[in-house]
Homo-oligomer: A and B are copies of this chain.
């Protein structure tokens, strides 16, 4: 497959540094969702700010992003501050700001991150990858609706597809799909963070009703190291998400992301607003 010189994901991650921890970027049109950029690209961009900070220690371990308000088109600023550095872990606070209608900066997004220097230790999983058909055995689906960011990902659903009719017939909230960047791009921590937010709102599946919904807060725990990313290459990840509770305007889900070899690269959780 012919690829352009720069991948849209790398374009979206472009940040200019005004000072260490002070960055500027542009809300990326190719990753636009309904009212602002896809939440996953926002999470990835915050992580990018951490990773390009000159003082960063180690690799990403945990990232929590709170979506206070949608970004609008145009420039944004990121503040990334390493507030505490230990021997092997580093704690970050982050914010995205944009100028409001009156010209004053407004916080759209807050976040915290932890990075860590990891050592080889005893390791084991308690979440084996489910036994599902391989990506090549499943068709890639077309974007389910007309938003830009869906065109940036190849998705091959295994189970729990978007309902074919919104008839209120839903009875579960489990989805599994193979996924990767489109065009393919070697996996890194930022693209892994973005992929963790790829799941459509669980409420749509559970209710088979397409009510308005939007992520309020997402957390990603990174289990992968650099070697796991390299081993994943530009292959597919198997993503799985399941809602836990839908209550009075908010639901949460848990998610797991394995590579094709069955290595669990990341786990994630989010809480999502929905409207009756």
Give the contact stretch, choosing among A21-29, A46-54, A133-141, A217-225.
A217-225
Cβ-defined partner of A126 (8 Å) among B111, B242, B250? B242
Chain B residues with Cβ under 8 A from A256's Cβ?
Answer: 244
- Of the listed residues A114, A207, A276, the one surrounded by the most CB atoms of chain B closer than 10 A to its CB is A114
Chain B residues with Cβ under 8 A from A122's Cβ?
Answer: 207, 246, 276
A125-B245, A248-B120 known; A68 vs B93 contact (CB < 8 Å):
no
- In this complex, the interface size class of chain A, counting residues with CB under 8 Å from chain B, is 35 or more
CB distance A62 to B127 under 8 Å? no
Chain A contacts to B: CB under 8 angstroms: 61-62, 64, 66, 68-69, 83-84, 86, 88-89, 91, 93, 95, 106-108, 110-112, 114, 116, 118-127, 172-173, 202, 206-207, 216-217, 219, 221, 223, 225, 242-250, 252, 254, 256, 264, 267, 269, 271, 273-276
Cβ-defined partner of A271 (8 Å) among B61, B127, B207, B276? B61
Cβ-defined partner of A221 (8 Å) among B66, B248, B252, B273? B252
Chain B residues with Cβ under 8 A from A242's Cβ?
Answer: 126
A62-B66, A83-B110 known; A245 vs B267 contact (CB < 8 Å):
yes
